[in-house]
Amino acid sequence: MPVFLDSTAATFEAEFAALLTAKREDSPDVDAVVSEIIADVRALGDAAVIELTARFDRLALSPETLAFSPEEIERECTKVPAAERDALERAAERIRAYHVRQMPQDVHWTDPEGAMLGWRWTPVSAAGLYVPGGLASYPSSVLMNAIPAHVAGVERLVICAPTPDGKVNPLVLLAARLSGVDTIYRIGGAQAIAAMAYGTQTIRPVDKITGPGNAYVAAAKRRVFGKVGIDMIAGPSEILVIADAENDPDWIALDLLSQAEHDESAQSILVTDDAAFGRAVAAAVDKRLETLERRAIAGASWRDFGAIITVRDLDEAAELSNRVAPEHLELCVADADALAAKITHAGAIFLGAWTPEAIGDYVGGPNHVLPTARSARFSSGLSVLDFMKRTTIARMTPAALKAIGAAAETLAISESLEAHGLSVRARLDRLNGDQP
């Protein structure tokens, strides 16, 4: 059973705080192992990657077979049924159209002193996209990671997609092709992250690494950060639904289960202003769990981390949601726009009962790579901007330097940085005719 909370109860604050701080991630002490793997890859390159792939994925590779050949990609793509190909193409089209609108503009202007100021945006040169293998092999994640990078103008895109026991998901390869990715390595784990960060004899290093993974992948991304950029350290999936009694309890139950079925550590929370509706949703969840294909996973998630919270009104619901800062937030209420205006912390918001979060996972358009574990308080989902850098631009005219240079010199002197001040003073002296 999930936990039932009532905001009017005297114990609510303590119970809600416990819900917020509950440890959901299975975080074994993997850092020492990951450190050794990264060191091996840095020292031995291809040989380490090949040996680790044989050990963990039971797959024998050579430098020549680390990546799929164009012929293999073509052959696997032809295996995708027409309906799935059409769905993937539709998703790619919508995701690309959404992310094209995110492209930032270069800006420059002349300020009152006559200085030209501005900024420009340029893409990273190379990006590496990690795609989990096995049961967690999701072609939708390929689209969500690769398309923004392609739209941003990244010249070289590579994917690492492990294929345990040599089993390939053709949809993953088709998604890569639709996203503009040509190079797909069949390696995974911390060794793949290390190879993309530091390079090997066969694998060229990249500038940024994005994509989800297990605890070993997450630990490796933490360790290589600084050598390369990373998107985020993603935790278990989560959804918070704010719903009034005018909703179908079964719809809401399915929305909650859509995240619970991801992972036993996922979290699904319902916030409602009607206690009877909350109980009806709980009953609907129980009924769906009797037949759901992934009922063992979803049931464990709902039992251990699920919650139904009854609140006084929707204003209080918004306040509690902001404290949770959920990855996914559904607003299934009569005036979803008004409630959304009160939300300050959420990875993605889904407005109204006809907008299930699952649409966002596949074909909505916005990215489904989102901040988890309350990090929506200070971060955003993956976007085109994650694959771009902003460079500031400034040009001083002699008149502009004369107008503002003395202030720079004064501040440099106050910080005891003599050369800073002198570099400005030398130019001011030339302008004032004090030196040739």
The answer to whether residues 371 and 383 touch, using CB atoms and an 8 Å cutoff, is no
State the number of CA atoms in the 13 A half-sphere of 89 facing the CB. 8
328 is in an annotated binding site: yes
The answer to whether residues 70 and 85 touch, using CB atoms and an 8 Å cutoff, is no
- From CA 164, how far away is CA 56, in angstroms rounded? 8
247 is in an annotated binding site: no
Instruction: Respond yes or no: is residue 328 known to be catalytic.
Output: yes
415 is in an annotated binding site: yes
Of 327, 330, 357, 368, the active-site residue reads 327
Selection from 388, 391, 390 nearest residue 125 by Cα: 388
130 is in an annotated binding site: yes
Of 261, 328, 357, 368, the active-site residue reads 328
The answer to whether residues 326 and 349 touch, using CB atoms and an 8 Å cutoff, is no
The answer to whether residues 224 and 245 touch, using CB atoms and an 8 Å cutoff, is no
Interacting residues of 403 by C-beta distance below 8 A, sequence separation 6+: 113, 114
Instruction: Give the strand pairing for 328-332 and 307-310.
Output: unpaired
Taking the CA atoms of the chain, what radius of gyration do you get in angstroms? Answer: 26
127: how many CB neighbours lie within 10 A of its CB? 31
Beta-strand runs (E) in 89-245: 107-110, 116-123, 126-130, 156-160, 183-185, 208-210, 229-230, 238-243
Token pair belonging to 140:
């939708």
In the chain, the amino acid numbered 111 is: D
- From CA 49, how far away is CA 131, in angstroms rounded? 17
214 is in an annotated binding site: yes
- From CA 5, how far away is CA 12, in angstroms rounded? 7
In the chain, the amino acid numbered 404 is: I
93 is in an annotated binding site: no
Beta-strand runs (E) in 216-337: 229-230, 238-243, 267-272, 307-310, 328-332
Token pair belonging to 388:
């771009």
- From CA 272, how far away is CA 365, in angstroms rounded? 28
The residues facing 3 across adjacent strands are: 307
Which parts are annotated binding residues? 130, 191, 214, 237, 259, 262, 328, 361, 415, 420
Which parts are annotated binding residues for Zn(2+)? 259, 262, 361, 420
Provide the annotated active-site residues. Answer: 327-328
Which parts are annotated binding residues for substrate? 237, 259, 262, 328, 361, 415, 420
Which parts are annotated binding residues for NAD(+)? 130, 191, 214
